[in-house]
Amino acid sequence: MPVFYGKHIASPLMLGTAQYPSPAILADAFRASNAGIATVSLRREAGGGQDFLRLIEGLGAAILPNTAGCHSVKEAVTTAQMARELLGTDWIKLEVIGHSDLLSPDVFALVEAAAELTAQGFKVFPYCTEDLSVAERLLRAGCEVLMPWGAPIGSGLGLNNPHGLRALRAAFPEVPLVVDAGIGRPSHAASAMELGYDAVLLNTAVAKAGDPVAMARAMAQAADAGRAAYLADPIEPREMAAPSTPVIGKAFLQ
């Protein structure tokens, strides 16, 4: 199971708390998923008030506040400070958005904000790309976890660049890595875990599913299966067929 900033998490599935049809379905989905971490946007929490906060605290998951919707260093840092005061945690999922259509990270502002927040004692979970140089800069800025995107937020496209994600895993074998954004189906979650990632973070795929509770359960099973497959050391793909039945001892008729 993943370890983030010294804290052991019971499940490789991390789940967002926005867009559910009702608070009751949100709670049921979390119970079905057994998610170890719940991400909370400060804007979303402010909209729900104390009732929403009590609901999240009752889920039994670690709370990871989120700077969702921030487009500058100042906005992200200020939001993180407010989240720490409101939610009582120094964990922060750091988002600094660079492109409004793709919701892609502004990697330059991200590194700057990560360094500033780390200096203030935050434990930063940066939403980033799979670029190795960006990853190196985030680690030098003090991040101990990296959260590269699979695809644009809410797109459900899965893993757009599995080769880049695999290269990131190989380059930083000791760093906890989480695929964040773009996962739409359980097969996507399993694929991310089969690459050796420590966890997957998703929201829309569960919250907007026809049956969020059933989808949450399916995502949990897929994440567990993908992790188990990775640990089992799967065979490498090959271009040509390889017989599964040995030919030694086979009778040859003239």
Give the residue numbers of the binding site: 154, 181-182, 203-204
Neighbours of 32 (CB within 10 A): 19
Residues 6+ apart with CB under 8 A from 59: 27, 30, 31, 35, 38
CB 183 within 8 A of CB 189: yes
Name, in order, each residue with C-beta under 8 angstroms of 133's C-beta and a sequence gap of 6 or more. Answer: none
Q: Which residues are annotated binding-site positions for 1-deoxy-D-xylulose 5-phosphate? A: 154, 181-182, 203-204
- At residue 94, what is the residue type? L
List the one residue out of 63, 46, 53, 81 whose CA is nearest residue 7. 63
Burial of 208 (0-12, 13-18, 19+ CB in 10 A): middle
Does the annotation count 93 as an active-site position?
Answer: yes
SS3 151: coil
d(CA 176, CA 198): 6
Residue 173: name the closest of 196, 199, 141, 150 by CA.
196
Distance between CA 22 and CA 117 in Å, rounded? Answer: 33
Torsion of CA 118, 38, 188, 105, to 10 degrees: -40
Among the listed residues 7, 93, 123, 250, the single catalytic one is 93
User: So which residues are the catalytic ones?
Assistant: 93
